[in-house]
Structure 1
Amino acid sequence: MTPPAGSLMDHCTHLTVFTNMILKIHPDNPQGRHIDRVVECLRDGGVIIYPTDTVYGLGCDINNKKAVERICRIKGIDPKKSHLSCVCEDLAIIGTYANHVTTPMYKLMKAALPGPYTFILEASKMIPKHFQHKKTFGIRVADHSIPKILCEQLGNPIASISLPMDENQPEFSNDPELIYQRYMKEVDIVVDCGVGGIAASTVIDLSNGEQDIEVIREGKGSLEEIGLVF
């Protein structure tokens, strides 16, 4: 049951007091009032589940330490050992968050993004303080309207990690209504854009430079399509 309209801050900060919400948003023509509601929730420190061009993921404002810690608790991981990605509207953020991005590295990312790839880069000192224990960070620019418009209107990247995938019950990771049933007491909003994918992004480590590229995980993104053949 979707809660009545009211103070979204209440919806986002008092998990145990009320029922949280699922919002159906059309990916090709997103309803502005729903987008505004999700963005306000993120600004208030909320945690959402939202679609990408690969799988549904947990997300929050990257600058909100408590929200990042909430995601880690939901995922069951240590915040200091977590591998949350930085989901952005475009590649502009690497000028702030990354060190030593060479022209060949940038061209590779430009060829791949937006798309189903995560690139690991050397982190700069400008990355949010709660990530500064990490020497690297992952950047994602999803080929999907919802993360793009959320980042654009929020004005910050989204700290994100994929939902846990149960191979025996994949529908609990890609069907928004079932996702809502499972996570309704742990997150503030589930963004429903229809059934999502089950293939995660391809993860490519560029943190050691273009001469030492490492493929951490082959996922939905094709290596051949971006000219990476080993």
Structure 2
Amino acid sequence: MAKILKIYPDNPQENYMNEVIKTLQDGGLIIYPSDTVYALGCDIYNVKAMEKLARLKNTTLDKAQFSIICNNLSHLSEFTRPIETSTFRLLKSKIPGPFTFILEANKNLPLAYKGKKTVGIRVPDHPIPQLIVEKLGHPIASTSIKDDDEVIEYSTDPELIAEKYDHLVDIVIDSGYGDNVASTIVDLTSGEPEILREGKGIL
């Protein structure tokens, strides 16, 4: 049964945050808020947790396209090939923000991402995911929570999300209603920005 933790962005309770970090370190799955929609996350270095995340999305790890959630641009060099100055300037002007940037991956990707030629990097403009990454000491893997409803694509109510994922995740962070517009996905692998999905972010 998922534990619901009410964590407020303006004053995140340290004991709750520590519980979230311990859960991630133990291979657990969390649902957390962002500057766009609520999302599922786990430790990128825990392969079993990543496999669980893939199963939740009805896919396999080799086919999954999970973003890497960072709290600043410093993680880019860890996971991506060197980028051009113009690309770096664009990233710097839009991060943190409601964007997922697709970049060429390097060979240092975590084991669960092995074989991927590209990787989606995201730095949400929201204190909770930023604090999670900071306290954990490295990024988390992430995927948006989509709704089965044909009218509303993304669930915004954390209580309804918690009901739906009650036996599938370990912790649901309730920070109030989320947005129902996902991040804008921008492919930067060719040098010229190409929008793959229009979302909340405006280039």
Q: Does 1:208 align with 2:197?
A: no
List aligned pairs for 1:60-71, cutoff 5 A: 60-71=42-53
Higher helix proportion: 1
List aligned pairs for 1:1-230, cutoff 5 A: 19-168=1-150, 170=152, 173-209=155-191, 212-223=192-203
Whether the aligned pair in 2 keeps the contact of 1:75 and 1:164 (CA below 8 Å) is no
SS in 2 for 1:173: coil
SS in 2 for 1:80: coil
Identity of aligned residues (%): 49
Q: What root-mean-square deviation, in Å, do the aligned CA atoms of Structure 1 and Structure 2 show? A: 1.3
Whether the aligned pair in 1 keeps the contact of 2:44 and 2:112 (CA below 8 Å) is no
Which amino acid is the alignment partner of residue 74 of structure 1?
L
Structure 1 residue runs of 4 or more that deviate by more than 3 Å after TM superposition: 166-172
Q: C-alpha deviations, 1:113-143, integer Å up to 9, x for none?
A: 1000000000001111221211000000000
SS in 1 for 2:78: helix
C-alpha distance in 2 between matches for 1:127 and 1:208? 20
Greater C-alpha radius of gyration = 1
How far did 1:167 drift?
4.0
Which amino acid is the alignment partner of residue 201 of structure 2?
G
Whether the aligned pair in 2 keeps the contact of 1:75 and 1:163 (CA below 8 Å) is no
Q: C-alpha deviations, 1:6-60, integer Å up to 9, x for none?
A: xxxxxxxxxxxxx320100011100111000001100111100000000000000
Q: C-alpha deviations, 1:79-125, integer Å up to 9, x for none?
A: 21111000001010111110031111111010001000000000001
Whether the aligned pair in 1 keeps the contact of 2:145 and 2:154 (CA below 8 Å) is no
**Shift in alpha-carbon separation, 1:184–1:171, aligned structure 2, 3 A:** farther
Consecutive unaligned residues of structure 2, counting only runs of 5 or more, are none
Consecutive unaligned residues of structure 1, counting only runs of 5 or more, are 1-18, 224-230
TM-score (norm. length: structure 1): 0.85
**Shift in alpha-carbon separation, 1:189–1:83, aligned structure 2, 3 A:** same
> How many equivalent residue pairs?
203
How far did 1:164 drift?
1.6
Which amino acid is the alignment partner of residue 222 of structure 1?
I
